Amino acid sequence: IVQLYVRFLKSKIVRPIKQLVDFKRLHIKSGMSCTVTLKLSHDDPALRYWDTATNEFALEPGKIELLVGTSSNDIKFTHSVSLLA
């Protein structure tokens, strides 16, 4: 299993330390490799929060970290990106 997590580096709301956003179950033999595509879109609920001022879901701008691994405790790759509102 390959899992994609997102972590907000700074957030004005309380969020999980890391949140699972996509995963793929793979069946490959030991020592083999393959390409996996994991998806995260701007409208994913993990990236949005309920804005009480506008009464709608909003995207919080700022830096997030994408984490890829076989579990939440076994992260193999990280990459930081910026979200623009």
pTM of the prediction? 0.87
User: Considering the domain 2-30+38-83 in this protein, what is its CATH number?
Assistant: 2.60.40.10
Give the DSSP letter string of 17-80: SSEEEEEE-----TT----------TT-GGGEEEETTTTEEEEPPEEEEEEEEEETTEEEEEEE
Cβ pair 22, 2 in contact under 8 A: no
For residue 28 the two structure tokens come to 């490959």
Largest pairwise CA distance in the chain: 52
| Per-residue pLDDT tens digits of the chain, which is 85 residues long | 999 999 999 998 999 999 999 999 998 888 888 999 999 998 899 999 999 999 999 998 999 999 999 999 999 999 999 998 7
Strands 62-71 and 74-83, sheet pairing: antiparallel
Write down the domain spans for the chain. Answer: 2-30+38-83
